[in-house]
Amino acid sequence: MQGTLVTVPTPDGTADAYLARPEGGGPHPAVLMYMDGFGLRPHLKRMADRLAAAGHVVLVPNVFYRHGPAPVVELPEFINPAERPEILQELRPAAETLTPEAAVRDAGVYLDWLAESPLTTDGPAGVTGYCMGVGLALRTAGTYPDRVAAVAGFHGAYLATDAPDSPHLLADRITAELYLGHADQDSTNPAEQIDRLHKALAAAGVRHRGEVYSGAHHGFTQADTAMYDAEATERHWAALLELLGRTL
């Protein structure tokens, strides 16, 4: 596996990103990985490396690039929001730069970048996301349906709200196959929103599977945080690799 830092020009500036790819020959299927709210950092790079080792070319953009290169705020090696609540406040200005309109504009650029790379195979990409990245993944699939074959999302946040631009409202435009792993100890994704999301997907005829990970907290895949759950994380890897291996 080889990992490098790359830059992706966008209409609003230049996004810094991490690119992981298998060693040896290619090309390989493309995967766009959306970060969680803490941003592009060593742990997410290690996750991309593991996905690349399974045979994928993985791009992890710093979606907060409008605020600055990653890390957009100084992060401790181990993140515990209960002990350091100021981290979330420090990240808020960066998050506010990523409007839904900006997110879908960026998504097209990231997909173009992957498609034009000599490292990737022809055909649609896979998209995976964590926390806020699940909403980004759904917006990407709903805006560029012919360019996304699969979406996997884990411990997503605010996916089916009453907002007029809630991600679940794009369900009828999605053609990709979806897998969603929800945490049942997650105030950002309560049971009623999980139900609303999956009803919207079913009504739209989207191929999807959703599972609630019992006892898991929001952020359970992030080993550098207090929310990490090793068992739930390995379950996530099995589901993610199965979906991508079958669809890409």
- Which single residue is written with the structure tokens 């990992």? 3
Gap between the Cα atoms of 207 and 143, Å rounded: 17
Q: 30-34 and 125-130 as β-strands: parallel, antiparallel, unpaired? A: parallel
Please tell me what DSSP assigns to residue 215.
Answer: E
Model pLDDT for residues 111-131, shown as the tens digit of each residue: 999 999 999 999 999 999 999
pTM of the model: 0.98
Model pLDDT for residues 31-42, shown as the tens digit of each residue: 999 999 999 999
Q: 13-21 and 57-61 as β-strands: parallel, antiparallel, unpaired? A: antiparallel
Which pLDDT belongs to residue 240?
98
Please tell me what DSSP assigns to residue 168.
Answer: G
Largest Cα–Cα separation, the chain = 48
Model pLDDT for residues 139-174, shown as the tens digit of each residue: 999 999 999 999 999 999 999 999 999 999 999 999
